[in-house]
Structure 1
Amino acid sequence: MPITLWRPFRDIERWQPFQEIENLQRQMNRLFDRLMPSGDGGGAGITFVPSAEMEETDDAVHLRLEIPGLEAKDLDVQVMEDSVAISGERKSQTKVEEKGIVRSEFHYGKFERVIPLPTHVQTDKVQAEYKNGILTLTLPKSEEDKRKVVKVKVA
């Protein structure tokens, strides 16, 4: 049986750089689809986590969260004795028309954040205000935590 050292050109694959770029783009799109909802209202992913700032005084814990683009009715705030859970859904639409061309964008997505509190609070006396995209919560400390004094032994 003769040994063939040469193969015909039909076995050689041609390099197609544009096809490789398209494959990379498809992979990147799949990655972003997993991280962000699809925009069709059925997205199960979390779109963002609101930034928070906490300050503790002698009488209360003050919590501020940055949640722009929502109305107060879109927020769900639940206060437990030792934590606060904030969740909601962002629904926004922008529509721009210039030179006879209409561009419309929709942004939908859910968010949630659970913030542990440094002390127990009185859940029935919490005050909340939502203004200019900032949610401000005033969480009064429970009476026993106000009076609690801890003596620390110094070695």
Structure 2
Amino acid sequence: MTLIRYNPWKEIDTLERSVNRLFEDFVPATLKDLTNVARIPAAEMTETDDAVILRLEIPGMEAKDLDIQVTEDSVSISGERKFQHDAEDKTKTRSEFYYGRFQRVIPLPVAVQNTKVTADYKDGILHLTLPKLVEEKNKVVKINLG
């Protein structure tokens, strides 16, 4: 019969390796891997008496590369920032810019008239004005008692 010594540290080492593997799958190890992390544009929402104003920070893109869809209760923005390759520039050693597709769906606090939305894209900021849905005011109905 063989005697095997119990080593409690072996189980802790196994647990540590498992946790490290888990984090390696989700956290980029170097700045080079940051391009693989999904990016979503930062948003700022302001509500006025008659509209919801939504601003999104989307630098380095052209308006034609953005797809904006508005329903009565949400706004969906998607697009793709394409890599611009300069054949002459061979000195680039590292880039922290993000290239690739993104999508963001933003729920709205109130219903809006999605057919009357105005949009403006300037200096990397997308500015949407979403007019609130004007519901019928409480109608006063006269009731005749017979």
Query: Is TM-score (shorter-chain normalized) higher than 0.5?
Result: yes
Structure 2 counterparts to residues 90-129 of structure 1, below 5 A: 90-93=81-84, 95=86, 102-103=91-92, 107-129=98-120
| Percent identity between the two aligned chains | 57
Check conservation: 2:35, 2:99, Cα contact below 8 A: no
Name the one with the larger strand percent.
1
Q: CA deviation at 1:109?
A: 1.0
- Higher Rg of the two aligned structures: 1
Distance 2:127 2:66 in 1: 12
Distance 1:30 1:79 in 2: 32
Aligned to 1:143, which of 127, 134, 145? 134
Deviations 1:77-101 (A, max 9, x none): 0001000000111113365978xx5
Which residues of structure 1 form unaligned runs of 5+?
Answer: 1-23, 38-45, 149-155
State the number of aligned residues: 112
Deviations 1:13-35 (A, max 9, x none): xxxxxxxxxxx9xx959953987
Runs of 4+ in 1 over 3 A off after TM superposition: 27-37, 94-98, 104-107
- The one-letter code sitting in structure 2 at the alignment partner of 1:56 is E
Which residues of structure 2 form unaligned runs of 5+?
Answer: 1-19, 139-146
Aligned to 2:74, which of 76, 80, 83? 83
Structure 2 counterparts to residues 1-155 of structure 1, below 5 A: 32=28, 36-37=35-36, 47-93=38-84, 95=86, 102-103=91-92, 107-144=98-135, 147=137
- The one-letter code sitting in structure 2 at the alignment partner of 1:131 is K
Distance 1:103 1:36 in 2: 16
Residue range with higher mean Cα deviation, 28-37 or 111-120: 28-37
Q: Normalising by the residue count of structure 2, what TM-score does the alignment of the two structures yield?
A: 0.63
Q: Secondary structure at the match of 2:84?
A: strand
Q: Secondary structure at the match of 1:84?
A: strand
- The one-letter code sitting in structure 2 at the alignment partner of 1:103 is K
Q: CA deviation at 1:102?
A: 3.0
- What is the RMSD of the two structures over their aligned residues, measured on CA atoms? 3.3
Q: Which position in structure 1 is the counterpart of 2:15?
A: none
Check conservation: 1:93, 1:107, Cα contact below 8 A: no
